Amino acid sequence: MVRLTKIYTKTGDRGRTRLGDMSEVDKTDIRVEAYGAVDETNAAIGLARCAVEDAEMSTLLERVQNDLFDLGADLCVPDTGEDPGYEPLRVTEGQVTALETAIDKWNALLEPLDSFVLPAGSEAASRLHVARTVCRRAERRTVNLSRLDERLNAETVRYLNRLSDLLFVLARIANENGQADVKWVPGKDR
């Protein structure tokens, strides 16, 4: 269990921060950028949950928020190949599979798309679309990190990729099961 007794450390005053293995890096380090974007995704999902009226969807999103803390923990503890003396928390294939199951379940309620949809509609849908785009940023940052860190857990990228898909599907559900989606009309205002 995590126990925080002191909130500020003053390490950040010098533009540095500590990773989960207690090594110190710049706050602009690509690893910090990656788990920072994951944290932003989590906050965006929390905001979306405030507008979600479906209890089952809210419960699913709460589980995702917990998973995102796991993912952030995974990213902030580099795998150096050495035994750290404990088992670092890593995202699992099972967590990715759970997202795939949820995508399939919710997507079965929707008609197939015949156009791209604008990130609009209901408040809940719009917030879920914002969370989706923030998640895509987290995915890009994590892919970037994976190109520099060959030991990075590949499930982190897979999880973020599936999560953005899930958020898209849930945004459509929040738009009256896709009936209130706002469709893109190419060249409409030329």
The string of pLDDT tens digits covering residues 118-137 is 999 999 999 999 999 999 99
Average pLDDT along the chain: 93
Is this structure's pTM higher than 0.95?
A: no
Going from N- to C-terminal start, the domains of the chain cover 27-77+89-180
Residue 155, class by beta-carbon neighbours within 10 Å (0-12 exposed, 13-18 middle, 19+ buried)? middle
What confidence score (pLDDT) does residue 91 get? 97
The string of pLDDT tens digits covering residues 145-166 is 999 988 999 999 999 999 999 9
The string of pLDDT tens digits covering residues 75-107 is 999 888 888 888 889 999 999 999 999 999 999
Query: Which letter does DSSP use for residue 16 in this model?
Result: E
Cα 32 to Cα 81: distance, rounded to the nearest angstrom: 20
Half-sphere exposure (Cβ direction) of 129: Cα atoms closer than 13 Å: 18
Confidence of residue 4 (pLDDT cuts 50, 70, 90): low
Q: What is the mean pLDDT of residues 158-179?
A: 97
Tokens of residue 56, six digits: 């089952």
Task: Tell me if 105 sits within 8 A of 25, measured CB to CB.
Answer: no
Q: Does domain 27-77+89-180 have CATH number 3.40.630.30?
A: no
Q: Cβ atoms within 10 A of the Cβ of 123, count?
A: 13
Amino acid at the residue 46 = G
Cα 146 to Cα 155: distance, rounded to the nearest angstrom: 11
What confidence score (pLDDT) does residue 15 get? 86
What confidence score (pLDDT) does residue 7 get? 73
Strand partners, 117: 183
Percent of the chain at pLDDT exceeding 70: 96
What confidence score (pLDDT) does residue 165 get? 98
Q: What is the mean pLDDT of residues 137-149?
A: 96
